[in-house]
Amino acid sequence: MEAGVFIWQPQAAVGLLLVATLLVWLRGEKARGSSCLTLFALAGAFTILATLFPWVGAGEILRQTYPILPPFGFSFQADLLSVSLALLFLFSGFVIALYIAAYPLKHDERRFKTAFLFIMACASGVVLAGDLLSLFLFFEAMSLAFFLLIIHNRTREAVAATYKFIYLTVGGSMCYFIALAIVFVQANSFAWTAGGFMSAASLSALAFWGFVAAFGMKAGMVPLHFWLAAAYGQAPPPAAALSSVIMMKTGAYGMARIFHHVFGLEMLSRQGWDILILILALFTILYGSFCAFAERDLLRRLAYSSMAQLGYILFGLALLNYAALVGGFFHFLAHGMMKGTMLLCAGAIVSKTGKRKIADLAGIAWQMPLTMACFSLAALTAVGLPPMNVFVVKWYLSLGALSAGQPLLILFLLASSLLNAAYYLPIVFRAYFGAENRDLHASLVWDRLPWPMTVGMLLFAAGCIVFSLGPVNLPLELTKRIATGFLY
C-alpha cells in the first residue's frame, strides 16, 4: 500500500463497533442475542485490523485525514504500535465480552453491555487516532462512558465512587484541553510526528504536564490515582477487568505518544521531565504495592496492584532507552493477561460465593479449583517467576535501568515484586492449604461456572505463559520492532 492511498480499516473497525453498540442498545434486554452481537462485532473488528498487518508489519505508517472538525481535521493512523495495541485490546475485549455474556449482572444488562461495547469502540479509536484532537474525542467518550459501569450496582458507595471518577476525569479533560490549546497556538499542528513537533517555549511545560495529568489520571499515576480503588471496589468485576486490561493502558499509550511523537525525547531529557516522570513512576510502583499489601478487599487489592503495574509501564517509558521501552510496551500484554486473569477469577469468586474479603477466601480452592488454579498462575506471574510474561518485562526494564546507568532502580522493581509475592501468595496459600482446609480435600467440587466464564479465565491464564513456551516469543519480537521504530 503506497503512502496517500485510502485506508479504510481503522475507520471500518471503529465504525463497526459503534454500529454494533447501537444495535445492542436497540435490541433491548434480549441477553443472548446482544452477547452474540458483541462477540461478532469484536471478532469482526479484530479481523479487519488484522488485514493491516502486512503493511504495518513492514514498518509503514498509514494515515488517513478527514476534513471534518475544521480547522483541525480528524485523522486515523495505523502504525505497528497502534495496530498491535488495537488487536490486543480487541482480543482482551472479546475474552471479557465472553465472560460478561455469562456473568450474572442481575439488572440493566442492556445498559452495561452497550456501555461496554461503546468503550471498546472508543478504546480502539484512541489507539488508532492519528492526532491529539482525534485521540481526545475518543478518550473523553471512553472515560465518561465508564461511569455507567461503575454506577451499575446503584449503591450509595457506587454513586460516591462514580462522582470521584467523574470529577477526576473532567479535571483531566480540562488539563488536556488547556494543553491542546497551547499546542495549537505554538505548533498549529496535532498530528503524530516522529521526534516530536513541539519546541521549547514559555508554555510548553504547561502543555506537557496537562497531557501527563490527563493520561496519568487514566493510568492511575500518583497523585491522580484516587478514583481507582473506589471504582474497582464498586464496579462489577468484569468492568474492573475492562479498566485494567484496556482503559488504563490507553493512558500509558497516550504517554508514549506525547513523549515520542509530540514533544520528542530530546526536549524531554533537556527539560528534565523524564526524571520527574521516572520519580512519579517509582512512587506509583511503591505506593500502589504498599496500598495493595494493606488492603483487605480482594478487588481493591487488585486495583492498587494495577496501579503499581501501570507504574512499570511508566517506568519503562521514562527511561527513554531501547530495553526499557521494550519492557514497558511488553507490559501492556503481560499485565493485561495477568490482571485480566485475576479480575475474572475474582469476579467468578464474588459472583459464585459472594466473598470479597481476603480473609474469607481460605479453602476456596476446594470449591473453585479451576478458578484458583488460574489465579495462582497469575499470582506467580505477577511475582515475576520465569518463564511467565512479567519476568520478560522485569528483565527488559532492568536492562533498561542498567543502560541508563542506574542499577539501583532494579531494586525498586525487586521490592515491588517482593510486595507482589507478599500480597498475592498468601491468598493462594490459604485457598489451598492449612490445617483447617485438610478436611476439604475430600469434598472437592468443580467450579460449576457457566462455560464462557471458565473459557475467559483460561484464555487469559494461558496468555500469561504460552508465548514463552515456543522457541520464538512472537509478541516480544513485535515489541522489539515497535521499540526500534520509536527510537530510530
Partner 1 sequence: MEYLPLFSVTIPLLAAGIMLLCCRSELAIKLLALLGSALSFAASAGMLPALAAGQILGTRQGYLSFPLHIYFQADGVSIFFAVIFSFCFFLAIIYSFSYMRHGHAKLRYYALLLVAQSAILGVVMTSSLVGLFLFFELLAVVSYLLVIHEEDAVAMSAGAKYLFMTIVAGFAIFFGLVVTYFLAGRLDYQVGGYVAASPLAGAALFAFLIGCGLKAGMFPLHIWLADAHPAAPAPVSALLSGCMIKTGAYGLIRVMHYVYTPQAMQAVSYDQVLLWLAVATIFLGSALALQQDHLKRRLAYSSVAQIGYVLLGIALMSEQALQGALFHVFSHALMKGTLFFCAGAIVTQTRKQYVSQLQGIGRQLPVIMYSFALAAVTIVGIPPFNAFFSKWHLAAASLAAGQGSLVAVLVISSLLNALYYFPIVVNAFFGNEAEENKFGTDRLPDEIPRSMLWSTALLALLCVLFAFVQPHWPMELARRIAAGIF
Smallest distance from partner 1 to CB 470, Å: 7
287 burial (CB, 10 Å; 0-12 / 13-18 / 19+) is middle
Give the three cell numbers for residue 442.
475430600
Smallest distance from partner 1 to CB 380, Å: 7
Smallest distance from partner 1 to CB 172, Å: 35
Distance of CA 98 to the CA centre of its chain: 18
Smallest distance from partner 1 to CB 173, Å: 39
Smallest distance from partner 1 to CB 90, Å: 25
Smallest distance from partner 1 to CB 336, Å: 17
CB of 56 closer than 8 Å to CB of 117: no
Nearer to partner 1, 276 or 402 (CB): 402
Nearer to partner 1, 69 or 411 (CB): 411
Q: What 3-state DSSP class applies to 4? A: coil
Nearer to partner 1, 244 or 376 (CB): 376
Smallest distance from partner 1 to CB 391, Å: 6
> How many Cβ atoms are within 10 Å of 134's Cβ, its own excluded?
24
Nearer to partner 1, 181 or 414 (CB): 414
Nearer to partner 1, 235 or 334 (CB): 334
Q: What distance in Å separates the CA atoms of residue 450 and residue 447, rounded to the nearest whole number?
A: 9
Work out the angle at residue 185's Cα, subtended by the Cα atoms of residues 182 and 187, and round it to the nearest 5 degrees.
95
Smallest distance from partner 1 to CB 438, Å: 5
Residue carrying C-alpha cell 503512502: 3
Smallest distance from partner 1 to CB 316, Å: 14
Smallest distance from partner 1 to CB 421, Å: 5
The CA-atom distances, in angstroms, between 242 and each of 92, 238, 250, 449 are 8, 6, 11, 20
Nearer to partner 1, 102 or 415 (CB): 415
Binding site for partner 1 (CB under 8 A): 380, 383-388, 391-392, 394-396, 398-399, 402-403, 407, 410-411, 414, 417-418, 421-422, 425-426, 429, 433-435, 437-438, 441, 468-473, 476
Q: Give residue 162's region: left, alpha or beta (phi > 0; psi -120 to 50).
A: alpha
Q: What distance in Å separates the CA atoms of residue 414 and residue 72, rounded to the nearest whole number?
A: 45
Nearer to partner 1, 278 or 380 (CB): 380
Nearer to partner 1, 7 or 402 (CB): 402
CB of 88 closer than 8 Å to CB of 104: no
Nearer to partner 1, 128 or 361 (CB): 361
Give the three cell numbers for residue 445.
467440587
Nearer to partner 1, 209 or 429 (CB): 429
**β-strand partners of 463:** none
Smallest distance from partner 1 to CB 204, Å: 35
CB of 206 closer than 8 Å to CB of 179: yes
Smallest distance from partner 1 to CB 64, Å: 35
Nearer to partner 1, 245 or 392 (CB): 392
Per DSSP, helices labelled H in 129-155 are 132-150
Nearer to partner 1, 125 or 363 (CB): 363
